Structure 1
Amino acid sequence: MDNQVKEAPALPAYHTIPMAFLAAPAVEKEFDLLAFWHILSRWKWFILFVTALVTSGAVYKAKTDVPIYRAEVLVTPVTDKGGGEVVGNLSGLASMAGLNLGSGKGSGSNLAILESRAFLERFIRDEKILEIIVPKRPEQDRSGSNHDNDKNSKEMWDAVLIFDGILSVSTERKDGVISIVIEWQDRHQAALWANLLVKKLNDHLRNLAIQEAEKSIEFLNNELAKTQLTQLQQVLVNLLESQLQKIMMSKVRPDFAFNIVDPAVAPPEGVIVRPKRKQMVAIGLGAGLGLGIVLSIVFNMFLSRKK
């Protein structure tokens, strides 16, 4: 029997990959970095020029922008403990007489009045600060236009918009303290206006409460003169006493709706909230450097294709 030699099964062929191909990405990456470094070296003075130009613009803007100061007054809503009990005891009697005795508006409604256009316009007129907020241009003083009323209306409209922009009210504190902030270019005016706003708001709400009570008294007196029922007369007398007490309490309380916890004071000179000069210069430096590099790459590509 002949010895037969069995051939070993053929192994699958493996293709060898050239080492140069494996090293291609690394070489390409190294080439890109070298090319980028070459561009930076070639255009370094241009990059420095653009960086200096943009940074100079940022420095100029940071120095010329009007500094804005921040004045803050902290207040808390007034809680009428005794008045609330009186109103609660007489509410049933008032309903019998057809009169609604509310316990007063909440702090949210009162703050809405503070930020209303009507209140801000009255504040600007009373304090005579229209020309401070919206200064007149020289050509407006020289022109003898027949539309003075229209101009005044437009100026007041703009003044209210500006004042509403510098005024902010925050009620986010958990302790119930309300922050009223004025941000303005004059630090003394900012503090003065913040404190005056609270005073004017208290006065306005006090007058509204007194007017409401006086109307109620007039109504109750008319009803008292018409009725002949002794029981209803006693109800009306009690309601009259409550309204008179409401007027008395409104007049004797200086802080009618809001107590001032911490009045606004003028911040020290130079302690501003805007502009943030260091941040502006840093952003200008980074933007100038980035712009210079991008322009250098674009110019270099353009010149390379042109060749």
Structure 2
Amino acid sequence: MEKVMNQDEAVTLGEVISYLFKRKLLIIFVSFAFVALGVAIAISKPNIYQAQAVLSPASNSGEMGGGATSQLGGLAALAGVSLGGAANDKSLFYLEVFQSRKFLTMFIEKHSLQKELFAAQGYDPVKDQLIYDEEKLQRLDANSPNPVTINFIYEKFIDDNFILEVNKKTGLITLSIRHFSPKFTKKVTELIVKDINYAIRTEEISDAVKSINYLEKALANTNVLETKKMFYQLIEQQHRTKMLATVKEEFAFKVVDPAIVPERKFSPNRALIVVVSGLIGGVLICMIVIVSALRNKN
């Protein structure tokens, strides 16, 4: 048998508003308490600054023409040589190197950034100094009972400080570094762009030298005129790659818009924290008041 709620048991909107109005002082008090809590949380959070650099993948591939490229493809593959073109575009590879564990851990260790990335907990703008957590500073000592590893610092850097975004329409790359110190963000942004270009330049030079050595040995072992011609073309391209990597500092990534010291904080949004905290408190106490009134009525 279907149960039908009696008219006396139904709760109207007017009754709900009446319940809330009767407990208005409690609702106001709890809401203000949550606002105060939000203010405390907002004040306790240190400012985070963000420096950005816009980069463009540099194009360094030599153009040899479609026919020549097709003819040299097999020999180039044997020597580990890239002939350029969309199919062999190294931009994606360079991008992966940019955010790889190997490169970033080497970068952190090279510039001794462990202290700033792991132990910093705030920034004093008056003294222009970072504020450090003493317990975390002790963990940076290799002889401490619980030393922190470079891999842990790398993970923290990736999660909290390092953002690499690619615009699919323009192909431009935005590197963002976030930290408590505005000067530190600019410094790290500039250093990381310089180091990634240097690392890739060094690797490209090394690969080109290896390819040239292989091709020259193969050239000495053949008497076929056409094959020799192909080897000469491959050797010429590797010398071109080596030359470009040697003279071009921005070999892999060209800086379109350099980083500057940020003047405005990136986060936290303290006003939003306070508003959201007050809304949560108000909604929560209203729900409690309504549920309590309904139980008393039943």
Superposition TM-score, scaled by structure 1 size: 0.75
Cα deviations by residue, 1:104-151 (Å, 9 ceiling, x for unpaired): 6432221111111111111111111011111286457669x9x74995
Q: Do structure 1's residue 208 and structure 2's residue 192 form an aligned pair?
A: no
Query: Residue 286 of structure 1: which of 233, 256, 279 is its match?
Result: 279
- Unpaired runs of 5+ residues, structure 1, are 1-23
- Alpha-carbon distance between aligned partners in 1 of 2:231 and 2:145, rounded to the nearest angstrom: 50
Which of 1 and 2 has greater Rg? 1
Q: In structure 1, give the amino acid aligned to 2:209.
A: E
- Alpha-carbon distance between aligned partners in 2 of 1:227 and 1:234, rounded to the nearest angstrom: 11
Q: Which residue of 2 aligns with 1:10?
A: none
Instruction: Tell me, yes or no, if the aligned pair for 1:91 and 1:100 is still in contact at 8 Å.
Output: no
Q: Which residue of 2 aligns with 1:74?
A: 54
- Alpha-carbon distance between aligned partners in 1 of 2:108 and 2:137, rounded to the nearest angstrom: 20
Alignment of 1:16-165 (within 5 A): 32-33=12-13, 35-80=15-60, 83-85=62-64, 89=68, 92-93=71-72, 95-96=74-75, 98-102=78-82, 103=84, 105-135=89-119, 138=134, 148=143, 154-165=148-159
Superposition TM-score, scaled by structure 2 size: 0.77
Query: Deviation at 1:239?
Result: 3.3
Stretch moving more, 274-283 or 292-301? 292-301
Stretch moving more, 190-199 or 36-45? 36-45
More helix by share: 1
Structure 1 residues 149 and 201: alpha-carbon distance in aligned structure 2, compared to 1, 3 A threshold: farther
- Alpha-carbon distance between aligned partners in 2 of 1:204 and 1:148, rounded to the nearest angstrom: 31
Q: Which residue of 1 aligns with 2:122?
A: none
Q: Do structure 1's residue 276 and structure 2's residue 260 form an aligned pair?
A: no
* Equivalent pairs, count: 275
Query: Deviation at 1:261?
Result: 0.5
Structure 1 residues 123 and 151: alpha-carbon distance in aligned structure 2, compared to 1, 3 A threshold: farther
Q: In structure 1, give the amino acid aligned to 2:112.
A: K
Structure 1 residues 33 and 240: alpha-carbon distance in aligned structure 2, compared to 1, 3 A threshold: closer
Structure 1 residues 62 and 198: alpha-carbon distance in aligned structure 2, compared to 1, 3 A threshold: same
- Unpaired runs of 5+ residues, structure 2, are 1-5, 120-131
Q: In structure 2, give the amino acid aligned to 1:101.
A: V
- Alpha-carbon distance between aligned partners in 1 of 2:270 and 2:51, rounded to the nearest angstrom: 20
Query: Residue 238 of structure 2: which of 243, 255, 263 is its match?
Result: 243
Q: Which residue of 1 aligns with 2:260?
A: 265
- Alpha-carbon distance between aligned partners in 1 of 2:266 and 2:137, rounded to the nearest angstrom: 33
Query: Deviation at 1:168?
Result: 2.0
- Two-structure CA RMSD over aligned residues (Å): 3.4
